[in-house]
């Protein structure tokens, strides 16, 4: 039982008896706040203790999950039993204390009711306790309703996190085969041209694959992730030669900026494979970074036009957009534009407030 349960139980019964015992003041010859408070405590404490005992039994046997046809007989038996017990205790112990200080007329009336009509008195107490039992079940219902709702929310949140994690893993698994297929084709071609360059390419590919396989976190250091891009660019420079020009300008103090792993590499791959390599003359690949307000902005520009994967519908850019949305809960972090024969992809990477 949590603190919320005890708050409902204690303050619920306290408010109930503070209101109920207002009638007590009309029967007292010299009513004072002390006598009013004493009367309230005499009736309040047994109700709190009795309700907690009743609720504990009900909770243990899961009465709160029963339907009314099965629950009502149990409530009736409990109410009748508690009513009889309460009546006996009331007559022997509580009545002398409660009637102390009351007017003679009220005291005599109370004693006559008990002596002449004990059954009616016991029935009245049973009805009173029955109402208190129902009030106890109301407390139990409110407690369990909040408990169940909290559990449902916790389960939904857990399921959302698991779904998000599985989506991210699925997207990363889509990226790796796509990247591996292109690189293996490049190395296969180099083996027939220059063995030393093929060996360097294998080293670069090994670095990329090791990083891809060993990285199992959602966020990595920018410096570590960008090293994969540099290895990939070296692979492509070996294949394209002078047709690929590269201009990289990286801001200072961003090495520890956390970014999703292998997010930028597919975009660079698209820029080269679907832009620069399609041209006989080749082209320029330009990568720049800038720091805005709590954002790291990475811009990748290549010579070419929007077509194929650059429409944003290809697997590389589509997965990058989806991964950004899953990681940062935003869908405005990647934009693609074309101007004067150049395609520009801008990626915004918000600061997460962490360092590694």
- The pTM for the full model equals 0.52
Query: What's the confidence (pLDDT) of residue 229?
Result: 93
Q: What is the pLDDT of residue 127?
A: 65
Please give the DSSP secondary-structure letter assigned to residue 62: T
Distance between CA atoms of 235 and 187, rounded to whole angstroms? 8
Q: How buried is residue 175: exposed, middle or buried, by Cβ count under 10 Å (0-12/13-18/19+)?
A: buried
Residue 286, pLDDT above cutoff 70 = yes
CA distances 342 to 43, 81, 298, 304, Å, are 84, 87, 16, 5
Instruction: Give the whole-angstrom CA distance, residue 68 versus residue 156.
Output: 29
Give the DSSP per-residue string, 22-59.
GGHHHHBSS--HHHHHHHHHHHHHHHHHHHHHHHHHHH
Give the domains, in start order, of the chain with CATH numbers: 3-155 (no CATH), 191-350 (3.30.565.10)
Residue indicated by tokens 């590499």: 265
How sure is the predictor about 169, in pLDDT bands with cuts at 50, 70 and 90? low
pLDDT in tens, 114-125: 556 666 666 666
* Span 61-70, pLDDT tens digits: 777 677 778 8
Question: How much is the pLDDT for 30?
Answer: 53
């Amino acid at each position: 039982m949590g603190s919320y349960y005890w708050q409902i139980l204690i303050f619920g019964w306290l408010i109930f008896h503070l209101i109920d015992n207002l009638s007590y003041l009309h029967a007292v010859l010299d009513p004072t706040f002390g006598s009013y408070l004493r009367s309230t405590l005499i009736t309040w404490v047994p109700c709190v203790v009795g309700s907690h005992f009743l609720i504990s039994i009900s909770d243990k046997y899961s009465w709160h999950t029963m339907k009314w046809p099965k629950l009502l007989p149990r409530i009736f038996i409990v109410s009748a039993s508690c009513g009889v017990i309460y009546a006996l205790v009331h007559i022997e112990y509580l009545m002398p204390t409660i009637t102390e200080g009351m007017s003679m007329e009220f005291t005599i009336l109370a004693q006559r009711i008990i002596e002449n009509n004990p059954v009616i008195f016991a029935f009245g107490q049973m009805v009173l306790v029955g109402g208190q039992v129902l009030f106890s079940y109301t407390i139990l219902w409110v407690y369990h309703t909040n408990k169940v709702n909290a559990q449902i929310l916790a389960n939904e949140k857990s399921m959302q996190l698991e779904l998000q994690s599985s989506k991210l893993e699925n997207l990363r698994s889509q990226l790796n085969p796509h990247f591996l297929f292109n690189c293996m084709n490049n190395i296969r071609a180099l083996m027939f041209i220059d063995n030393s360059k093929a060996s360097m390419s294998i080293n670069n590919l090994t670095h990329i694959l090791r990083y891809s396989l060993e990285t199992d976190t959602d966020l990595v250091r920018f410096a570590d992730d960008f090293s994969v891009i540099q290895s990939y660019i070296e692979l492509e420079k070996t294949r394209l030669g002078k047709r690929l020009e590269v201009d990289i300008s990286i801001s200072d103090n961003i090495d520890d900026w956390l970014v999703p792993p292998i997010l930028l590499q597919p975009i660079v791959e698209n820029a080269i494979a679907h832009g620069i390599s399609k041209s006989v003359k080749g082209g320029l690949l330009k990568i720049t970074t800038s720091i805005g307000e709590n954002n790291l902005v990475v811009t990748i520009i290549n010579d070419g036009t929007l077509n194929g994967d650059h429409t944003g519908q290809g697997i590389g850019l589509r997965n990058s957009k989806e991964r950004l949305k899953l990681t940062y809960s935003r869908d405005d972090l990647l934009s693609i534009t074309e101007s004067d024969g150049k395609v520009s992809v801008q990626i915004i990477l918000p600061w997460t407030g962490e360092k590694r």
